[in-house]
Structure 1
Amino acid sequence: MGAADRGDAHNSLGLLDLFGDGFVRAPYSWLESLRSEAPVRYDPNTGLWLVSRYHDVRRVLLDSALFRPDNAQHAVTPLAVAALRVLARAGFTLPPALANNGSASHPGLRRVVTRFFNVRRVAAAVPAIERIAEELLGTAQKQIKTTGSCELFTSFAQILPCRVLMELLGIEGIAPITLISWSDASLELFWGRPTPERQVELASHVAEFHQWLTATVRSSTSPPDSFIAALTRHRLPDGKLLDVETAVAACFFVFIAGQSTTGQLIATVLQRALAEPGLWPRSAHEAGLAEAWVEEVLRREPPVTTWRRVTAQPVELGEVELPAGAELLLMLMGSGSDPDVFAAPELMCPHRANIRHHLAFGAGRHRCPGASLARTEAAVALRVAARHLPDLQLTESPKTPMLGLLSFRAPLSVAVEQPR
């Protein structure tokens, strides 16, 4: 299929709606059809080229010169004038910083971030992660003892990574629930399909988030060893100090990726572990099982399902001729189920030989700098939850609410109960 064949999609893919309930709840048959029938396919609903085969996705991620990250944080749904006014009044701007930065300033900024999320720091943070997890689960235990049931997404999976991030980065003077609400609003505004009226509501939260970040970056009260202080000391390749706007953009990305997406991962890990016969009680004590389970969830059902790139020049990808400026949507979730790479991809197989080959955290110079922290938090969350609440089972529900944004997917509820 060439660049002129945008409307000639196979019939089985003609009704594909990336925001639709059918795709959000049961994406695998759609992703399989994309890989086998149209591995590089134009989607008229979003204006994006869907790239679904593992090797094509990996090629794009590794070549940041030919496939640029400039569009990574653009709003998927065009923002209404009223929403733009709300953002403009707050001085909202997201100059290239991390995920959307293909310039010479990216390596230095990335080094600032990775210093706070490297393996040594994450290992040292495990006791804090366990302490916060046990505290949150203590509250859940009391509720289960009183009512026989509990909801572990909002009470545990969401809160844990936010509180850990605040401790790691030296963030004070703000309630975790406020950061979570700001982060969630940002995801929906920029990666969702909100109505114009909903956009205005979301924009007000995003504006508050941006104003708080700006005030925090400009303040001289951040602890010297904090993430924000490190950003304000950072010098760009030309020797100038990092400007406030770019520092805020870096914080914006790190705060969202470090809490919302990790909370989504934890929710999926817990839900899938409870649904897998015999796995929950084993996770409490079997060495390495929690880590292996997290890796399989990342392969099969990652919280970051897609990511965007834009072609810098005409290029052939998956036997399709793409023009310069073609916007690509890399189907990260679909790549983890590519049978050319992962045997029996529909099966959850902890300890599979090539499990670390998945692309849930991306690849190349823009690979997620918080990958080690996310993995560790999710494994600790599963192990501690299974240890403290060994007899849990999922509450029967006709339809679990799901987050279904362009690039983010996860259960919005993990309802559990004691067996009767």
Structure 2
Amino acid sequence: MTSPALDASPPLGLLDLFGDGFVRDPYPWLDALRAQAPVRHDPGTGLWLVSRHRDVSRVLLDPDAFRPDNAQHAVTPLPVSALRVLARAGFRLAPALANNATAGHPGLRRVVTRFFHAQRVAAAVPVIERVAGELLAAARERLDASGDCDLYSSFAQILPCRVLMELLGVDGVSPATLIRWSDASLELFWGRPTPERQLELATLVAEFHQWLTHTVTDGAAPPGSFVAALAAHRRPDGEPLDVETAVGACFFVLIAGQSTTGQLIATVLRRALAEPGLWTRVADEPGTAEAWVEEVLRREPPVTTWRRVTARPVELGGVDLPRGAQLLLMLMGSGSDPEVFTAPQDMCPHRANVRRHLAFGAGRHRCPGASLARTEAAVALRAAARHLPAIRPSATAGDAPMLGLLSFRAPLQVAVEQPWGPRT
């Protein structure tokens, strides 16, 4: 199974991480970075781009020299109008999980991992299958009525949100609202929106933060829920978790636990539908859906980059970096590093060393929801292939809009059709 031949290396001086050319086809740029400038300063963002697998891995595994403090900073400076909206809502992202290098991080991480360990994920498979079945039945009805359907908005985006809400005991908000808040947060902090758009997004993020604050402080969290676990948690000094940190943990988990998984499912579905013969195989062959998900994570992960900042002067990839250098780890590019993966442009399910990819990070801050994301994506792919065996990509599928944020990339549409059109 192969992808189209790679284009000639583009000139790195024209690189725009938010540009349509990079978002549509980042691979020539990522290959050029690894080959020509594996640690390169990007004037457009002010970030140092780190693209080789060995360098990215080194940074992730040395949190003392490369700190996570900047992981959730806004990429595009916020205008005063947006800052006022956030300030009125009391918005502040205290160090909680991805941006936390304090002594409190290990204990807080343990609270999170209790909801995502392997046994709990295995027990959640019937929930994932049930929700997937409900959503795909509705998709089937749309296909029969109109002949086509978008599996992103009707399935990939909704499934992980509903599953996460059940697993964490989240209620009092609709999945559609939580998705809208999460998408707004990603765009505000990882996008390049206009000042007018930033104001719109800040209003939604403020609503999200106010709802989280109320949820954390109202004392009504059901026993066994994620919020109840945070309330019971104690810091290293024995004191209860402060509200800001609890809200920050919820903010990160509720976004990462469903938005990025929805993006992964969308990419998995799109790539599987385009691969000759694969749709039938993932429906029937044990382990094929899981293997395809892993290969997509290597080649085209939804979390494409992550940030770190140097705690002291350090040499990386032959470049001397000062203290305070802002790094952008090219997770997506590291998965196609030929030093690690043979014929990285080829999609090869069951690749022997596929789990050396860094799609979930590594070390102290490795994604605690990795097992759930893998499982949800594989169940979603298998269920879609079984419920909708005859679908094919729509004629317009190749022109689908793409999410192109600094750290997140995925199709925003998975348009499919059935060969016989609508049923009359």
SS in 2 for 1:116: coil
| Structure 1 residue aligned with 2:3 | none
Deviates more, 1:246-255 or 1:397-406: 397-406
Whole-angstrom distance in 2 between the partners of 1:87 and 1:173: 22
Amino acid at match of 1:419: P
Correspondence list, 1:164-243, <5 A: 164-243=163-242
Partners of 1:290 and 1:399 in 2: CA distance: 25
Is 1:12 aligned to 2:4, yes or no?
Answer: no
Which residue is 2:407 aligned to? 407
Distance 1:259 1:126 in 2: 16
Q: Does the 8 A contact of 2:10 with 2:28 survive in 1?
A: no
Amino acid at match of 2:125: V
**TM-score, normalised with respect to structure 1:** 0.97
Counterpart-to-counterpart distance in 1, 2:10 and 2:291: 38
Structure 2 residue identity aligned to 1:217: V
1:384 is aligned to 2:383: yes
Alignment of structure 1 residues 55-134 onto 2, 5 Å: 55-134=54-133
- State whether residues 260 and 302 of structure 2, in contact with CA within 8 Å, keep that contact through their aligned partners in structure 1: yes
CA offset digits 1:158-217 (Å, max 9, x no partner) = 000000000000011210000000000000000000111100000000000000000000
- Corresponding residue for 1:6? none
Amino acid in the other structure paired with 2:31: E
Give the ranges of 4+ consecutive aligned residues of structure 1 lying more than 6 Å apart after TM superposition: none
Alignment of 1:323-402 (within 5 A): 323-397=322-396, 399-402=399-402
Q: Which amino acid aligns with 2:230?
A: L
Q: Which residue of 2 aligns with 1:254?
A: 253
Aligned-pair CA distance for 1:220: 1.2
1:344 aligned partner, one-letter code = A
Write the distance in 2 (CA, Å) between the matches of 1:12 and 1:360.
Answer: 26
Q: Which residue of 2 aligns with 1:297?
A: 296
How many equivalent pairs are there? 411
The amino acid across from 1:224 in the alignment is P
Unaligned 5+ segments in structure 2 are 1-8
Compared CA separation, residues 270 and 58, structure 1 to 2 (3 A)? same
1:145: Cα distance to partner?
1.0
Shift of 1:407: 0.1
Equivalent position of 2:38 in the other structure: 39
Q: Report the aligned-residue RMSD.
A: 0.8
1:158: which partner in 2?
157
- Mind listing any 5+ residue stretches in structure 1 that lack a counterpart? 1-9
Matches of 1:213 and 1:281, distance apart in 2: 42
- 1:50 alignment partner, SS class: strand
After superposition, what is the alpha-carbon deviation per residue over 1:76-113, rounded to whole angstroms, capped at 9, x for unaligned? Answer: 00000000000000000001000000110000000000
Q: Match of 2:4?
A: none
Which residue identity is paired with 1:109? L
Amino acid at match of 1:384: A
Measure the CA separation in 1 of the matches of 2:10 and 2:132.
48
User: Following TM superposition, by how much is the alpha carbon of 1:316 offset from its aligned partner in structure 2, in angstroms?
Assistant: 0.3
The percent identity for this pair of structures is 76
Instruction: Please state how far the C-alpha of 1:11 moved relative to its aligned partner.
Output: 8.0
Cα distance in 1 for residues equivalent to 2:145 and 2:187 = 35
Q: Which moved more, 1:348-357 or 1:397-406?
A: 397-406
